[in-house]
């Protein structure tokens, strides 16, 4: 019989934990695609795995130009109470510098670096480091060659001279896309000097629930599945931190001298059971979400036009569930880089630009933080708005 097996521990995956309804899927770029999303849970290591999309290769080759529109473009990490916006790259640099004590002249490789904003920002703080870049796509080379000399970046294959060469290898939000994460992490580990550090950030589906239904995120790691993966390639896990970066795990692991046997802590199986029940809750949330959107839609006045607050994944999800999406006149967002663009053929506006006649606003934000974020929206508070939450 043909069955899927876990990308991390190779256990068979037989029963889907979640399946999108209506036969459609959403990608991380907020595109609707035909075909259901199916997510499986591994009973051995608590890894969640999404069935690979049929045309993955062409998706990455042609569609996946994430944030390639401009060099400065970034995503908002959070908006401070005083209205100051913190961008994701700045937050990532801050956390990395807090966690790692980089020696002077340290050799660093950013594996899966895309347009290399992390390395650029890091150099602004630490001009002494020796940065190197790697990605599977050649489309980012124009960004790299502006500030990194040839020989310090590679596409598709890493040079053999990089074996055992680096003090630090980083991976920011790329392992969730990898079809063979063990092979990739093994490669990253082999490029570290003995004692060198692997530093990676991946989404945490329990605190960033949208991750579950993103079609092109093949892997949704849990703390146990990360531990299993890293141990198996000879890395000693120093910390799996689920608080420093909202909605994500920040992982620090060190290369030990010899590839150790995979020795997992005694409480491993207990952790797995614990995680499986949390993952089940996330799956149940999404199984009910589409229905909840439609029943709230049915309660709106029949001629009411609405807006969707959030031009990211949650906003796209709400739009995809509506029975009458034509009643949405715009998306609202605080990210200035999105202004002038469209999502679902609707303009993306700043909250202050919300048309006066709109009284009902869907909140397309991470449900964990949505109420707090909305309560800080002074510009909408002065109007008598009704907010509809996921």
Give 6 or 129: the residue with its C-beta nearer to Zn ion: 6
Q: Can you tell me which of 26, 45, 188, 230 binds Zn ion, judged by CB under 5 A?
A: 45
Q: Does 39 bind Zn ion (CB under 5 A)?
A: no
Binder among 9, 240, 252, 349 for Zn ion (CB under 5 A): 9
User: Does 231 help bind Zn ion (rule: CB under 5 A)?
Assistant: no
Backbone angles phi, psi at 126, to 5 degrees: -135, 85
SS3 220: strand
Please choose, out of 35-43, 93-101, 122-130, 135-143, the segment that lies near Zn ion by the rule CB under 5 A.
35-43
C-beta separation of 322 from 290 below 8 A: no
41 binds Zn ion (CB under 5 A): no
Which one of 27, 41, 47, 215 is in contact with Zn ion (CB under 5 A)? 47
Three-state DSSP state, 221: coil
Count of residues of this chain found to bind Zn ion when the rule CB under 5 A is applied? 8
The whole-angstrom separation of Cα 191 and Cα 85 is: 36
Helix, strand, coil percent content, the chain, rounded in steps of 5: 35, 25, 40
Which of the ranges 11-19, 33-41, 125-133, 198-206 carries the binding residues for Zn ion, by CB under 5 A? 11-19
Binding part of the chain for Zn ion, among 22-30, 46-54, 97-105, 212-220 by CB under 5 A, reads 46-54
d(CA 222, CA 49): 11
Distance in angstroms between the alpha carbons of the first and the last residue of the chain: 39
Out of 17, 26, 41, 42, name the contact with Zn ion by CB under 5 A: 42
Show contacts with Zn ion in window 81-120 (CB under 5 A).
none
User: At closest approach, how far in Å is the CB of 213 from Zn ion?
Assistant: 20
CA distance 237 to 219: 19
Q: Which is nearer to Zn ion, 47 or 346 (CB)?
A: 47
Interface residue with Zn ion among 28, 44, 328, 364 (CB under 5 A) is 44
> Angle, nearest 10°, between helix axes 88-99 and 117-125?
50
- Rounded CA separation 212/66 (Å): 19
Q: For Zn ion, give the closer residue by CB, 49 or 174.
A: 49
Contact status: 6 vs Zn ion (CB under 5 A): yes
By CB under 5 A, residue 8 contacts Zn ion: yes
**CB-nearer residue toward Zn ion: 67 or 276:** 276
Shortest distance in whole angstroms from residue 45 CB to Zn ion: 3
**Which of 120/220 has CB closer to Zn ion?**
220
Compute the Cα dihedral for 118, 122, 100, 236 and give only its sign. positive
Residues that bind Zn ion (CB under 5 A): 6, 8-9, 11, 42, 44-45, 47
């Amino acid at each position: 019989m043909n069955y899927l097996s876990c990308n991390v521990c190779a256990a068979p995956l037989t029963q889907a934990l979640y399946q999108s309804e209506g036969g459609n899927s959403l990608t991380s770029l907020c595109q609707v695609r035909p075909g259901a999303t199916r997510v499986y849970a591994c009973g051995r290591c608590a890894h969640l795995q999404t069935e690979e999309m049929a045309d993955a290769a062409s998706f990455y080759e042609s569609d996946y130009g994430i944030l390639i529109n401009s060099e400065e473009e970034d995503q908002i990490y959070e908006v401070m109470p005083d209205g100051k916006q913190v961008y994701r790259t700045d937050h990532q640099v801050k956390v990395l510098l807090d966690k790692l004590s980089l020696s002077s002249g340290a050799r660093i490789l950013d594996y899966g670096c895309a347009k290399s904003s992390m390395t650029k920002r890091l150099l602004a703080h630490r001009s002494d480091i020796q940065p190197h870049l790697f990605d599977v796509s050649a489309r980012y080379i124009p960004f790299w060659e502006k500030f990194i000399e040839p020989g310090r970046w590679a596409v598709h294959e890493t040079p053999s001279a990089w074996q055992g060469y680096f003090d630090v290898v980083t991976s920011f939000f790329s392992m969730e896309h990898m079809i063979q994460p063990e092979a990739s992490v093994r490669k990253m580990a082999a490029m570290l000097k003995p004692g060198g550090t692997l530093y990676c950030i991946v989404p945490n589906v329990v605190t960033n629930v949208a991750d579950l239904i993103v079609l092109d995120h093949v892997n949704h790691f849990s703390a146990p599945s990360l531990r299993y993966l890293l141990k198996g390639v000879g890395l000693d896990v120093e910390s799996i931190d689920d608080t420093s970066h909202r909605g994500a795990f920040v992982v620090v692991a060190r290369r030990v001298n010899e590839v150790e046997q995979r020795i997992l802590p005694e409480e491993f199986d207990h952790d797995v059971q614990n995680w499986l029940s949390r993952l089940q809750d996330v799956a149940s949330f999404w199984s009910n979400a589409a229905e909840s959107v439609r029943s709230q839609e049915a309660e709106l006045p029949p001629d009411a036009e609405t807006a969707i607050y959030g031009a990211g994944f949650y906003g796209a999800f709400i739009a995809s569930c509506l029975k009458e999406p034509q009643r949405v006149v715009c998306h609202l967002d605080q990210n200035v880089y999105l202004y002038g663009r469209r999502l679902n053929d609707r303009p993306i506006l700043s909250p202050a630009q919300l048309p006066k006649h709109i009284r009902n606003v869907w909140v397309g934000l991470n449900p964990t933080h949505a109420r707090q974020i909305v309560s800080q929206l002074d510009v909408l508070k002065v109007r008598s708005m009704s907010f509809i939450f996921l």
